[in-house]
Amino acid sequence: MLDDKDIKKLKSVFPTKVDLEKVVSDSADRMLIVLASKKDTEEIKSDLGDLKELVQGLIVGNDAIAKSISELRLEYAAISTQLSRHDRWIKQIAEKVGLNLAVD
C-alpha cells in the first residue's frame, strides 16, 4: 500500500493535474501568438506588395519626368541657337542699313 510519503515522492516526479492544465494553457497562449504573427506576416506581405507597386509607379513617373527634361534641354538648345542667329542677323542688317542699335 502507498503511504503519504510515497504519494509525495510520486508528485515530485510526475506532473499533477494542475501542472498539466498550466502546460495546456501556456501552449494555447503560445499558439495564439504564433497564429497572430502569421496573420501579421500576411499583412506585411500584402503591404510589401502595395509598396512595390507604389515604388514601381514612382520609377515610371520619374522616367517620364527625366525624358521630358531631356526633350526640353534639346529644345532649349535649339531655341538658344536660333536666338543667337537672329541676334547676329539683326546686328548685320542694322550695320548695313546704318542704324545704331541702342542697348537700354
Render pLDDT for 50-83 as a digit per residue (tens, 0 to 9).
Answer: 999 999 999 999 999 999 999 999 999 999 999 9
pLDDT tier at 13 (50, 70, 90 boundaries)? confident
The three cell numbers locating residue 78: 535649339
pTM for the whole thing? 0.49
Rounded (10°) CA dihedral 87, 91, 97, 101: 100
Q: Which residue has the higher pLDDT, 104 or 102?
A: 102
Q: In the prediction, which pLDDT does 51 show?
A: 94
Q: On the CB side of 94, how many CA atoms lie within 13 Å of its CA? A: 10
Cα Rg for the chain, rounded, in angstroms?
43
Rounded CA gap, 47 and 85, in Å? Answer: 57
Instruction: Calculate what percentage of the chain has a pLDDT beyond 90.
Output: 49
pLDDT tier at 32 (50, 70, 90 boundaries)? low
**pLDDT higher than threshold 70 for residue 33:** no
Quick check: 100 and 94 in contact, CB under 8 A? yes
pLDDT tier at 22 (50, 70, 90 boundaries)? confident
Quick check: 69 and 59 in contact, CB under 8 A? no
Q: In the prediction, which pLDDT does 93 show?
A: 95
